[in-house]
C-alpha cells in the first residue's frame, strides 16, 4: 500500500469526538500507516534541508524538491488514503449498509459527520455495533450520492457537478456536514437557470437554505413571463405558482391578460404532463382541451369542476379588474369559461362605480395611497427594449381617463399624460390635473436569466397636467445591458375609503 499522509490523518482525528467504546483494530492499523508516513516525511524534511544548503552554493531552477512537486506528493498521499481506507476498506472497524450497498469504513473518519458523531458518542444501541444499517427517508438521496459524501470524509476536497448538487445536498444534510452543505449552496447560487431553478427552489425549502430559496424565487419573478419556457411551466408547482402570480414584483410583459394566458397554458400542462408539441401549438392545444372539457361538463366553468377546483387558489391571484377593462380580453374570458361568473360580476360592478367616482366626483386620482394598495391592487404591465433606441409604450384598456404614455429616449424614461389622443375617445379625461401612484422597475437578464442590471424607483406618487411629461428615470453614465425589461405598477383610482391600509405611504418624485 502506498504511503499515507500523517498530517492529514491527525487533522481528521482532532476533529472527531472521543469514542469510549469504539472498535480499536481498524484505528490501530490506521495509526501504523500514519507512523510509517511520518518517518518518510521526516526523511524528506532532512533531505530538503540538505538540498536547501546546497542551493545556497549553486542555484538550480526547478530542482527535484520544488514546491509544486511537493504539493503533488501530498495529493498523491491523500489519494492513497482515499483508495486504501475508503475504497478498499483496509483497517475497517465498522460497516455501513444502506440502499442495498455496503461500505467498510472507520469510526474516526465517520465522526466528522454530526450524524455519526451523535450516534457513536451517546447511549445509542449503534454505539457498540460493528454493522449499522441506515434507512433513507429522503428520495433525493441515492447510492451514488451517499458513496460520494462518505468518500468526502477521506478527502480534502470534493468536486460537485451541478447536475448532482441536490442529491449531494440531501445526503450532506442528513449526515450533518456543514462544510459540504455550504459548498452545495455556493454551487447552486452560481448555476440557477431554467433547467435547475425549480429543483433548487424545492430543495432549498426542504433543507433550510433560505438564501437559495430567495434567489430562485426572484429568478422566477424575473423569467416566468419573459422566457415562455414550456418545460419550466411544467415544473412550477401549484403553491409556487400561486405565490408568483400574487406578487407585484412579477415581471409582466404587456398586461394582466398575458398573466391569464400564462396560467391557462400552465394549467393545461399540469393536467396533460405528457403533452409534446411546439411553443406555437401550446395555446391552441390548451384552448381545444378546455373547450372539450367544457362540453363534457355541460358548460360548467372549469374552476367549478372537480379537475378545476385545485387551481382556484392560483386563479384567485389574478387582478381581474385589469382584464375586463379591455373589450377583446373580456370576450376571451367569457368564451373560455374558466372563471365562474360569480367571480366576475362583483368586479364589473366595482369598476363601474369607480368610473362614476372618477367622472362625477371630479377625483384627480389617489391622494393618500399606501404601499399595500399598490402591492395587491395595482395594474401590472411592462415591455421590452431590444436595443438602445427611442421607444414608447401605451397599454390597452380603459384606465379611467388616463392616457399615460411611457417614453424611452437618450437613456431617459419619461411619463407623459396625453390629453389630445382622439383615438381614445371617451378614454381621455379633460381634468386639468390627474394623479397616479406608480412603481417602475428596469431589469437586464443574461442568457441564464440572471439579472445583470436592476433599477427600482420604489412606489411614488405622480401628478401631471394635460400633456405634461416628467422624467422618472435617468440612466446616463450607467452600465445598462440590452435587452432591457421594463415593468410598471400603476394605481389610477384608490380603493374605497375605510379599507385596511398599511402605515407605509407613497412619496412624490422630484420634478
pLDDT at 213 over 50: yes
**Residue 24 pLDDT exceeds 80:** no
Residue 12 has pLDDT above 50, yes or no: no
Tally of residues, the chain: 511
- Which pLDDT score, from 0 to 100, does residue 218 have? 98
Q: What is the mean pLDDT of the chain?
A: 82
Q: In whole angstroms, what is the distance from residue 406 CA to residue 415 CA?
A: 5
Reply yes or no on whether the pLDDT at 35 is more than 90.
Answer: no
Q: In sequence order, what are the residues at sequence separation of 6 or more whose Cβ sits closer than 8 angstroms to the Cβ of residue 222? A: 251, 443, 445, 449, 451, 485
- Does 5 or 325 have the greater pLDDT score? 325
At residue 180 the predicted structure's pLDDT band, cuts being 50, 70 and 90, is very high
Query: The C-alpha cell of 377 is what?
Result: 391592487
Closest C-alpha among 170, 237, 169, 167 to residue 198: 237
Q: What are phi and psi of 248, to 5 degrees?
A: -75, -10
For residues 308 and 304, give the distance between their C-alpha atoms in angstroms, rounded to a whole number.
6
446: Cβ–Cβ under 8 A, 6 or more apart, which residues? 452, 481
What per-residue confidence (pLDDT) applies to 427? 52
- Give tens-digit pLDDT for 103-150: 999 999 999 999 999 988 877 777 778 899 999 989 999 999 999 999
pLDDT-derived band at 181, boundaries 50, 70, 90 = very high
Confidence grade of residue 435 (pLDDT, cut at 50, 70, 90): confident
Q: Is pTM, for the whole model, over 0.85?
A: no
3-class secondary-structure state, position 435: strand
Assign 354 a pLDDT band (cuts: 50, 70, 90).
Answer: confident
Predicted confidence at residue 426, as pLDDT, reads: 45
Region 219-237 average pLDDT: 95
**Percent of the chain with pLDDT strictly greater than 70:** 76
**Highest mean pLDDT (candidates 153-162, 265-274, 488-497, 499-508):** 265-274
Write the CB contacts of 252 (distance below 8 Å, at least 6 apart in sequence). Answer: 225, 258, 259, 380, 381, 382, 487
Amino acid at each position: 500500500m502506498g504511503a499515507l499522509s500523517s498530517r492529514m490523518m491527525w487533522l481528521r482525528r482532532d476533529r472527531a469526538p472521543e469514542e469510549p467504546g469504539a472498535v480499536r483494530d481498524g484505528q490501530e492499523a490506521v495509526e501504523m500507516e500514519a507512523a510509517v508516513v511520518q518517518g518518510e516525511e521526516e526523511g524528506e524534511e532532512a533531505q530538503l534541508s540538505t538540498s536547501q544548503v546546497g542551493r545556497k552554493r549553486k542555484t538550480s531552477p526547478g530542482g527535484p524538491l520544488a514546491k509544486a512537486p511537493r504539493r503533488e506528493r501530498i495529493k498523491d498521499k491523500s489519494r492513497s488514503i482515499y483508495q486504501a481506507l475508503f475504497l478498499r476498506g483496509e483497517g475497517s472497524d465498522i460497516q455501513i449498509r444502506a440502499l442495498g450497498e455496503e461500505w467498510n469504513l472507520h469510526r474516526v473518519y465517520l465522526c466528522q459527520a454530526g450524524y455519526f458523531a451523535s450516534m457513536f458518542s451517546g447511549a445509542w444501541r449503534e454505539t457498540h455495533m460493528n454493522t449499522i444499517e441506515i434507512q433513507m427517508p429522503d428520495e433525493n438521496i441515492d447510492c451514488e450520492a451517499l458513496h460520494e459524501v462518505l468518500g468526502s470524509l477521506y478527502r480534502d476536497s470534493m468536486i460537485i457537478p451541478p447536475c448532482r448538487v441536490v442529491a449531494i445536498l440531501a445526503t450532506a444534510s442528513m449526515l450533518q456536514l456543514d462544510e459540504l452543505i455550504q459548498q452545495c449552496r455556493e454551487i447552486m447560487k452560481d448555476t440557477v437557470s431554467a433547467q435547475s431553478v425549480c429543483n433548487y427552489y424545492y430543495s432549498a425549502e426542504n433543507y433550510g437554505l433560505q438564501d437559495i430559496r430567495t434567489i430562485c424565487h426572484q429568478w422566477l419573478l424575473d423569467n416566468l413571463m419573459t422566457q415562455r419556457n414550456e418545460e419550466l411551466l411544467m415544473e412550477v408547482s401549484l403553491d409556487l405558482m400561486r405565490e408568483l402570480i400574487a406578487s407585484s414584483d412579477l415581471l409582466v410583459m404587456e398586461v394582466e391578460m398575458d398573466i391569464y394566458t400564462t396560467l391557462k397554458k400552465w394549467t393545461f400542462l399540469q393536467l396533460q404532463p405528457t403533452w409534446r408539441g411546439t411553443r406555437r401549438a401550446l395555446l391552441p392545444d390548451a384552448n381545444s382541451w378546455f373547450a372539450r372539457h367544457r362540453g363534457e361538463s355541460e358548460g360548467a366553468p372549469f374552476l367549478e369542476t372537480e379537475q378545476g377546483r385545485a387551481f382556484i387558489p392560483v386563479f384567485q391571484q389574478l387582478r381581474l379588474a385589469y382584464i375586463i377593462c379591455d373589450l377583446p380580453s373580456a370576450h376571451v374570458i367569457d368564451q373560455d369559461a374558466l372563471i365562474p361568473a360569480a367571480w366576475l360580476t362583483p368586479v364589473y360592478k366595482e369598476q363601474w362605480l369607480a368610473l362614476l367616482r372618477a367622472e362625477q366626483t371630479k377625483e384627480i386620482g389617489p391622494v393618500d395611497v399606501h404601499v399595500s394598495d399598490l402591492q395587491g391592487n395595482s395594474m401590472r404591465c411592462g415591455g421590452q427594449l431590444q436595443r438602445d433606441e427611442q421607444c414608447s409604450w401605451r397599454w390597452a384598456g380603459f384606465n379611467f381617463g388616463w392616457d399615460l404614455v411611457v417614453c424611452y429616449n437618450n437613456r431617459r424614461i419619461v411619463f407623459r399624460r396625453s390629453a389630445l389622443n382622439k383615438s381614445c375617445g371617451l378614454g381621455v379625461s379633460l381634468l386639468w390635473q390627474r394623479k397616479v401612484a406608480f412603481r417602475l422597475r428596469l431589469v437586464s437578464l443574461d442568457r441564464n436569466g440572471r439579472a445583470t442590471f436592476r433599477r427600482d424607483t420604489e412606489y411614488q406618487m405622480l401628478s401631471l397636467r394635460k400633456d405634461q411629461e416628467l422624467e422618472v428615470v435617468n440612466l446616463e453614465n450607467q452600465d445598462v445591458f440590452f435587452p432591457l425589461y421594463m415593468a410598471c405598477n400603476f394605481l389610477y383610482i384608490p380603493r374605497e375609503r375605510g379599507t385596511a391600509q398599511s402605515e407605509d405611504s407613497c412619496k412624490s418624485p422630484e420634478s
